[in-house]
């Protein structure tokens, strides 16, 4: 059979398969008010419709932070999830309504856009007509984000000024409702079932019980899903609202990013208003508890973490090897194995008071001090013996040690001669 050459005609494609762009939408509302919640759902519907209208796009995901401030990215979980998905190459493009919705911190805005660009992801800010895919300069984006940042700071300052004016007039309504009250018609109203427990806590404290003991008793008596903790008991015992008064501006927000609330330690004025609402306990009881707490604080003072106790991080359990940690009790500081309080593990080591550890340390120190010469000599002898065992049979190491010693001795002699000769020359001149 003869070989024949067949002519093959290539039919070129007339259509090219277009790769769908994976588009993500990001939206955010600043507060959780009813109007903003409606705005939130409106943004969700809008972006769903927007992506459906473009055949070249497919919805990768919708990221929406609700009731979260835009001045700090670390508080926005959905934003962080979007950045993570972009890094994992799950997104090609992000659509957002405006720069103010994306971020109100100019530096974080620019840094986020740069990160997304390094992941191959572009961002379209619709209202601002900014598309990072064709953006040759970051100047416009920086200016827009700087304006957004300034707007956020101005809004925070206006709100703080408004709150202080209401505090000065005694018309400020507390945003936090303490246990035992409910906020009804802008007034703190007593919840009697909870108020009885508040009175029990003050009564127990006046009868000599400590915070830890009161916490345990309240847990045993509790018939609801309320979880009693030491911090809550301490908060109740120190809160002036239970006598019907209000100390306002215990915390404040500095006019700088990120806008985080800080404890007022004298940086801002405070405002004390009497008889702002119904009291649960009398002022006499509150003052008695306050005096007892102050006396106990002096007697059982616990240094802060900035000035930790001497034994902090220095004691380890001889049974399991875990570190010891301090425990605060009504009669002082105690040290216990960390493993004893860990979930699912157990250690039968002893618990020691801080005084016991101090006595043991002083005793050990005095023993070492009295026998320091013997301890040092014994330690050196053991180190020499260990070195001999390690180097035994290895003549090369021994020869090197001898050479090092010889060189050291010669260097010492030369240094002495040079310094002596130098001194004689100085004296001759």
Domain layout of the chain by residue ranges: 21-152, 181-299, 301-368, 377-422
Cβ–Cβ under 8 Å, residues 93 and 85? no
Query: What pLDDT is attached to residue 343?
Result: 46
Reduced to 3 DSSP states, what percent helix, strand and coil does the chain have, rounded to the nearest 5?
A: 50, 15, 35
pLDDT for residue 189: 86
181-299 is a CATH 3.20.20.70 domain: no
Contact 255, 156 (CB under 8 A): yes
Cα–Cα distance, 361 to 51 (Å, whole number)? 71
What was the pLDDT predicted at 156?
67
d(CA 132, CA 94): 10
Q: How far is 152 from 46, CA to CA, in rounded Å?
A: 25
- Which pair of structure tokens corresponds to residue 299? 């007697």
The per-residue pLDDT string of the chain (429 residues; one tens digit each, 9 = 90 and over) reads: 556 667 778 877 766 556 788 988 888 765 555 555 566 677 777 877 887 888 788 888 888 887 555 455 666 788 889 999 999 999 999 998 888 778 767 777 888 888 888 899 998 888 888 888 877 666 677 676 666 666 666 766 777 777 777 777 767 777 778 898 888 877 888 889 999 999 999 999 998 888 888 998 999 888 888 888 888 898 899 888 888 888 877 776 666 555 666 777 777 778 787 888 888 999 999 999 988 888 877 665 555 555 567 787 788 888 888 888 888 777 778 888 877 655 455 677 888 888 888 888 888 888 878 877 777 777 777 877 777 776 665 666 666 667 777 766 776 666 665 555 544 444 444
Task: Give Dmax over CA atoms of the chain in angstroms.
Answer: 120
Here the tokens at position 368 are 């070492």
Helix (H, G, I), strand (E, B), or coil: what is residue 165? helix
- Smallest Cα–Cα separation from 357: which of 299, 328, 307, 314? 314
Q: Return d(Cα 259, Cα 71) in angstroms, integer.
A: 7
Per-residue burial over 195-222, b = 16 or more CB atoms within 10 Å of its CB, e = otherwise: bebbeebbebbeeebbbeebbebbeeee
Could you say which architecture CATH assigns to the domain 21-152?
3-Layer(aba) Sandwich (3.40)
* H-state helical runs in 99-223: 99-102, 106-118, 139-169, 192-206, 211-221
In this prediction, residue 377 carries a pLDDT of 77
Tell me if 201 sits within 8 A of 233, measured CB to CB: yes
According to DSSP, residue 210 is labeled -
Nearest to 239 by CA among 275, 203, 281, 301: 281
Determine the pLDDT at residue 352.
87
CB 272 within 8 A of CB 247: yes
Q: Whats the size of the chain, residue-wise?
A: 429
Q: What is the pLDDT of residue 196?
A: 92
């Amino acid at each position: 059979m003869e070989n024949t050459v067949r002519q093959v005609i290539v039919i070129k494609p007339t259509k090219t398969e277009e790769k769908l762009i994976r588009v993500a939408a990001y939206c955010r509302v600043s507060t959780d008010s009813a109007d903003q919640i409606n705005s939130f759902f409106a943004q969700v519907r809008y972006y769903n419709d927007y992506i459906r209208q473009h055949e070249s796009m497919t919805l990768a995901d919708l990221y929406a932070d609700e009731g979260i401030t835009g001045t700090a990215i670390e508080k926005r979980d959905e934003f962080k999830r979007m950045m993570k998905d972009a890094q994992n190459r799950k997104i090609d493009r992000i659509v957002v309504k405006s720069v103010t919705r994306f971020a109100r911190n100019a530096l974080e805005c620019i840094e986020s856009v740069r990160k997304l660009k390094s992941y191959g992801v572009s961002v379209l800010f619709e209202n601002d007509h900014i598309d990072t895919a064709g953006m040759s300069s970051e100047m416009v984006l920086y200016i827009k984000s700087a304006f957004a940042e300034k707007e956020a700071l101005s809004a925070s300052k206006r709100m703080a000024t408004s709150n202080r004016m209401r505090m000065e007039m005694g018309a400020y309504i507390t945003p936090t409702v303490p246990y035992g009250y409910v906020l009804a018609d802008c007034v703190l109203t007593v919840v009697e079932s909870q108020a009885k427990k508040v009175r029990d806590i003050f009564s127990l404290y006046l009868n000599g019980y400590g915070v830890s003991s009161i916490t345990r008793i309240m847990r045993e008596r509790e018939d609801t899903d309320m979880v009693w903790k030491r911090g809550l008991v301490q908060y109740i015992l120190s809160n002036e609202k239970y006598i019907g008064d209000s100390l306002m501006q215990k915390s404040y927000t500095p006019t700088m990013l990120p806008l985080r609330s800080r404890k007022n330690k004298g940086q801002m004025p405070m405002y004390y208003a009497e008889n702002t609402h119904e009291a649960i306990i009398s002022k006499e009881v509150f003052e008695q508890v306050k005096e007892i707490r102050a006396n106990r604080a002096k007697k059982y003072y616990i240094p802060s973490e900035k000035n930790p106790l001497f034994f902090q991080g220095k004691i380890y359990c001889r049974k399991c090897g875990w570190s010891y940690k301090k425990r605060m009790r009504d009669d002082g500081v105690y040290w216990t194995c960390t493993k004893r309080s860990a979930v699912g593990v157990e250690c039968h080591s002893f618990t020691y008071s801080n005084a016991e550890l101090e006595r043991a340390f002083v005793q050990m120190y005095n023993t070492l001090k009295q026998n320091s010469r013997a301890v040092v000599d014994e330690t050196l002898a053991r180190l020499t013996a260990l070195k001999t065992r390690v180097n035994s049979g290895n003549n090369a190491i021994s020869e090197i040690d001898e050479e090092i010693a010889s060189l050291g001795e010669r260097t010492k002699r030369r240094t002495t001669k040079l310094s002596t000769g130098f001194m004689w020359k100085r004296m001759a001149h």
